[in-house]
Every structure is written in C-alpha cells, then in structure tokens.
C-alpha cells in the first residue's frame, strides 16, 4: 500500500517536472516569437513620438518625451486629408466591388453545371499567379487611353479584378455547403434570382462575405504598386504612395524618420484593429484557399 502510493507520488512528481520544463520551453519560445514580431512596432511607435533631438541619439533613447508634433507636422507636409480619403475610398470600394462580383461568379460556378466548369474555375483561379508587375505597362497604356489614369475609379477597377480570383475560390466552397434544397423550395414558391440572393444566399453566406470583405480591404489598403504607377496627383494617391513621398523628403537632420514612422503607425493601426477583431474569420478565409 505504502509502496504504491510512493511510486504514484514520484510518478506524479516526475510528470510535473516534465510538464514544467515543457512549459518553460514553450513560454521561452513564445517570448522570442512575440519579441521578434512586435519589436519593430515598438521602434516605429517610439520614433513617431520622438522629437528630432531624441530621434538621432547614440545609444538610442527607448523612452522618449512623448510629443505629437510629428503627427501635426505630417499634415502640413503632405495633403493628408486627401490621401486618407483616397485610401479609404480605394480600399472600401475595391473590397465591395470584388466581393459582390465574386459572389455572383461564385454562385454561377457553384450552381450551374456545364461541362468543363471545373477546368474553367481552375483556369480562372490560376490567374492569381499572374504577377501584378508583368501587367502594369499594358494596364498603364490601357488606362491612359481610357482617360482613367490618376482616377480612383480606374484604380478600383484594376485592384478589384486582382482580388476576384481568390475571392471566387473561397466563396465557391462556402456556397457549395449551402444545401440546394433550400433554394429549390424558394424557386417553387416563385422566388426569382434576386430574391434568392437577398433572402437565402446572402444571409447564409454572410460570414464568408464579411471575411472576404476584411481580407480584400486589407489587401487594397496595403497595395502600393497600382497607386504608385497610375496616380499622378493627390486626386488619387493613397497613403502607401504618401509614405514613399515622405521618405524621399529631406529634413535638415537626414531622413525624416519621425515622419515616416508617424505615417507608418497611422497606416498600421487599421490593420491591427481589423486583425484583433476578426482573427478567426481572417484565418478561416486565408486557409480556405490553401487547404483542400
């Protein structure tokens, strides 16, 4: 009796010790991971609230006297209001347009059965691999001919078309999960396509639609190449172009790292908020295309 208790006790103790070591290793790895991911953000947040005297110091000042001067000066240096507005219009419209177009295309792919449908879907999805940069010159000339250079409409159309293949790919999978019987019943009741969309498909696939809206918004918000190539004036330049301009501006002390950091922080905040609030949905959307 006593012997068994002792053995059990040592076994438990040994397991405890083992678990603890695993825990230590786990938390150590976690710490390193978080540190590597987050320290760059600490650095740009810190730089964005440093005055010029504390920005260029050896060794670096890690806890500066916080000043909002950089953010204020930023608004004087670039047409910030226009750029923020353009970025928002560009990202929101691209997300809305791409998701609504993709929704209809995905519905067609999921429900209409014609021979060669899968091949068509594959070919369509394969255009995802087409590099943006390889299409930029023809698109530049095309937009110039259509008088759509330097216009948000042109940018939104081009960006949406890039977002569509992945969105269709994800949405087809979701729509196929909706049982066809529900629609059949509705059709028998005399519902038309528009009513089916509004009453059945959109409510049932709304989590997927919302997910793709978020992912596409982030992609458009982060996009640099199209606005950089197609925008000439503040009429259509976005924040990602703005940061390249701020970077190139010279200040008496060298690169205006405080301004670059301030704009960087401003551009990162929406992304972080979206990620924190919809982590699960984003992951579901991102993995949907890769798995299966």
Partner 1 sequence: MILRLGTAAYPIIETIQLSLRSFKNYGATEEYVGLGNFTYLPDDFGFKGAIEFTLMFVIISTLLQLVFGILIAQLLNANFKGRFLARAVNLIPWAIPTIVAAYAFRWILDDQFGMITHWWDLIAGYRPVVFTDPDGARWAVILVNVWKNAPFMAVVFLAGLQGIPEDLYDAAKVDGANAVQRFFSITLPMIVPLVVTMSTFFIIWQVASLDLIYGLTNGGPGVATQVLALRVYEEGLRYFNYGLASAISIVLLGLVAIIGMIGIFLFRRFEVSS
Instruction: Classify residue 251 as left (phi > 0), alpha (psi -120 to 50) or beta.
Output: beta
Nearer Cβ to partner 1, position 109 or 205?
A: 109
Minimum Å distance from CB 188 to partner 1? 29
Among residues 63, 134, 188, 232, the one that binds partner 1 under rule CB under 8 A: 134
Nearer Cβ to partner 1, position 1 or 133?
A: 133
Kindly state whether residue 11 participates in binding partner 1, applying the rule CB under 8 A: no
Binding to partner 1 (CB under 8 A) within 155-184 occurs at: 157-158, 160-162, 164-165
Kindly state whether residue 35 participates in binding partner 1, applying the rule CB under 8 A: no
Nearer Cβ to partner 1, position 205 or 238?
A: 238
What mask of x and - would describe binding to partner 1 in positions 191 to 230, judged by CB under 8 A?
---------------------------x--xx-xx---x-
Minimum Å distance from CB 247 to partner 1? 6
**In whole angstroms, what separates CA 242 from the centre of its chain?**
19
Whole-number Cα distances in Å, 49 to 6, 155, 223: 61, 33, 26
What mask of x and - would describe binding to partner 1 in positions 56 to 75, judged by CB under 8 A?
xxxxx---------------
Task: Give the residue from 169, 275, 171, 288 showing the smallest Cα distance to 222.
Answer: 275
Binding to partner 1 (CB under 8 A) within 74-133 occurs at: 101, 105, 124, 126-127, 129-133
> Quick one: CA dihedral 80, 84, 87, 89, positive or negative?
negative
Minimum Å distance from CB 233 to partner 1? 16
Count of residues in the chain: 292
DSSP the chain: -HHHHHHHHHHHHHHHHHHHHHHHHHHHHHHHHHHHHHHHHHHHHHHHT--HHHHS-SSPPSSPPP--HHHHHHHHHS-HHHHHHHHHHHHHHHHHHHHHHHHHHHHHHHH---TTHHHHHHHHHHGGGS-HHHHHHHHHHHHHHTT-TT-HHHHHHHHHHHHHHHHHHHHHHHHHHS-HHHHHHHHHTT--HHHHIIIIIHHHHHHHHHHHHHHHHHHHHH--HHHHHH--STTT--HHHHHHHHHHS-BTTBS-HHHHHHHHHHHHHHHHHHHHHHHHHHHHHHHHHH--
Nearer Cβ to partner 1, position 14 or 57?
A: 57
Q: Which stretch binds partner 1 (CB under 8 A): 9-17, 64-72, 135-143, 201-209?
A: 135-143
Q: How many residues belong to the site for partner 1 (CB under 8 A)?
A: 77
Nearer Cβ to partner 1, position 34 or 68?
A: 34
Kindly state whether residue 286 participates in binding partner 1, applying the rule CB under 8 A: yes
Minimum Å distance from CB 251 to partner 1? 13
Binding to partner 1 (CB under 8 A) within 252-281 occurs at: 255, 257, 260-261, 264, 267-268, 271-272, 274-276, 279
Kindly state whether residue 44 participates in binding partner 1, applying the rule CB under 8 A: yes
Minimum Å distance from CB 3 to partner 1? 26
Among residues 12, 24, 26, 146, the one that binds partner 1 under rule CB under 8 A: 26
């Amino acid at each position: 009796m006593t012997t068994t208790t002792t053995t059990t006790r040592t076994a438990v103790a040994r397991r405890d010790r083992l678990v603890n070591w695993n825990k230590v290793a786990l938390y150590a790895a976690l710490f390193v991971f978080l540190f590597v991911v987050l320290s760059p953000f600490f650095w740009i947040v810190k730089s964005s609230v440093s005055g010029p005297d504390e920005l260029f110091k050896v060794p670096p000042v890690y806890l500066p006297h916080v000043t909002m001067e950089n953010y204020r000066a930023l608004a004087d240096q670039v047409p910030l209001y226009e750029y923020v507005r353009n970025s928002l219009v560009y990202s929101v419209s691209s997300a809305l347009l791409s998701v609504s177009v993709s929704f209809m295309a995905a519905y067609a792919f999921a429900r209409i059965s014609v021979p060669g449908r899968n091949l068509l879907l594959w070919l369509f999805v394969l255009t995802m691999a087409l590099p943006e940069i390889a299409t930029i010159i023809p698109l530049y000339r095309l937009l110039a001919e259509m008088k759509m250079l330097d216009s948000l409409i042109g940018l939104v159309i081009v960006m949406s078309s890039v977002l569509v293949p992945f969105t269709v790919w994800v949405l087809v999978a979701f729509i196929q999960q909706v049982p066809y019987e529900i629609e059949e019943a509705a059709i028998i009741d005399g519902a038309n396509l528009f009513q089916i969309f509004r009453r059945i498909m959109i409510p049932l696939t709304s989590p997927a639609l919302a997910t793709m809206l978020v992912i596409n918004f982030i992609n458009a918000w982060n996009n640099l190449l199209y606005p950089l190539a197609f925008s000439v004036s503040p009429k259509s330049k976005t924040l990602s172009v703005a940061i390249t301009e701020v970077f190139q501006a010279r200040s008496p002390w060298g690169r205006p790292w405080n301004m670059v950091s301030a704009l960087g922080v401003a551009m990162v905040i929406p992304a972080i908020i979206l990620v924190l609030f919809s982590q699960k949905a984003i992951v579901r959307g991102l993995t949907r295309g890769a798995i299966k």
